């Protein structure tokens, strides 16, 4: 199970009490979105109060991704709990927390991950988990350093275009 963390304090507990592989540690919401454009993770440990993009807004964006990771909030802000569960957060833990609470959450998270993995398709090469129940019907598009979550039913035409970074800029080919 792969995860990223936007809550530095948890790093030790995750490493000590789980088999979760931490792929990255972030302190900025926009950096998380940029990372997720090129990497899939199975879980995100997130605080509400983070720079650039508030953790609640970040979670709303992530919950619309085609591969929806488990979102676990670790925060001092109890007033955001209802919003977190509207986007189907896996858990919402208030600070200050007890180590035992984190250990129980990690055990439940890994159990859910194993269950979802068994209920879904077999893991792809590299260990990723294409679990149909956690996939949405949207894709993530990047335009001018922004991430746009788009419902696949709203796409009428798609073309692939790539310009070499060393070639002079050109226009994409016209649809035929």
pLDDT of residue 65: 84
Q: Is residue 45 part of a domain?
A: yes
Domain for residue 161, yes or no? no
Residue 66, token pair as written in the block? 């085609």
Q: Is 156 a domain residue?
A: no
pLDDT at 117: 84
Residue 149 lies inside a defined structural domain of this protein: no
Coil/strand/helix, residue 25:
strand
Predicted pLDDT at 19:
96
CATH number at residue 22: 3.40.50.2300
Residue 132: enclosing H or E segment and its boundaries?
A: none
The answer to whether position 9 is within a domain reads yes
Distance CA 105, CA 114 (A): 14
Residue in 155, 125, 150 with CA at minimum distance from that of residue 66: 150
Total number of domains in the chain: 1
Q: Encoding tokens for residue 105?
A: 């959450």
- What is the model's pLDDT at position 147? 53
pLDDT by residue for the chain (176 residues), tens only, comes to 999 999 778 899 999 999 999 999 999 999 998 999 889 999 999 999 888 888 899 999 898 887 889 999 999 988 888 888 888 899 999 999 999 999 999 999 999 999 888 876 444 434 444 444 444 555 656 666 555 656 677 777 777 666 555 655 566 556 55
Burial of 14 (0-12, 13-18, 19+ CB in 10 A): buried
The reported pLDDT for the residue numbered 168 is 58
- What's the number of CA atoms in the CB half-sphere (13 Å) around residue 2? 14
- Residue 46 resides in a domain: yes
What residue numbers bound the domain in which 73 lies? 2-134
Own/partner pairs, 138-141, CB within 8 angstroms, 24+ separation: 138/64, 138/65, 138/66, 139/66, 140/36, 140/37, 140/65, 140/66
Task: Please state the pTM of the whole predicted model.
Answer: 0.69
pLDDT for the residue 155: 78
Phi, psi of 101 (to 5 degrees): -65, -40
155: in domain: no
In a domain, 171, yes or no: no
CB atoms within 10 A of CB 16: 11
pLDDT of residue 162: 60
Q: Report the pLDDT value the prediction gives residue 150, as an integer from 0 to 100.
A: 67
């Amino acid at each position: 199970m792969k995860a990223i963390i936007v809550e530095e304090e948890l790093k030790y507990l995750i490493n000590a009490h789980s088999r979760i592989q931490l792929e990255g540690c972030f302190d900025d919401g926009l950096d998380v979105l940029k990372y997720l454009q090129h990497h899939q993770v199975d879980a995100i440990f997130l605080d509400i109060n983070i720079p650039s993009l508030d953790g609640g807004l970040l979670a709303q964006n992530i919950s619309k991704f085609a591969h929806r990771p488990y979102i676990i909030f670790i925060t001092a802000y109890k007033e955001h709990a209802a919003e977190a569960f509207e986007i189907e957060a896996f858990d919402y833990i208030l600070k200050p927390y007890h180590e035992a609470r984190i250990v129980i959450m990690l055990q439940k998270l890994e159990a859910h991950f194993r269950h979802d993995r068994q209920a879904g398709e077999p893991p792809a090469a590299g260990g990723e988990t294409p679990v149909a129940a956690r996939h949405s019907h949207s894709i993530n598009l990047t335009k001018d350093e922004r991430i746009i979550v788009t419902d696949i039913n709203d796409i009428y035409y798609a073309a692939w275009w790539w310009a070499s970074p060393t070639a002079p800029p050109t226009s994409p080919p016209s649809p035929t």
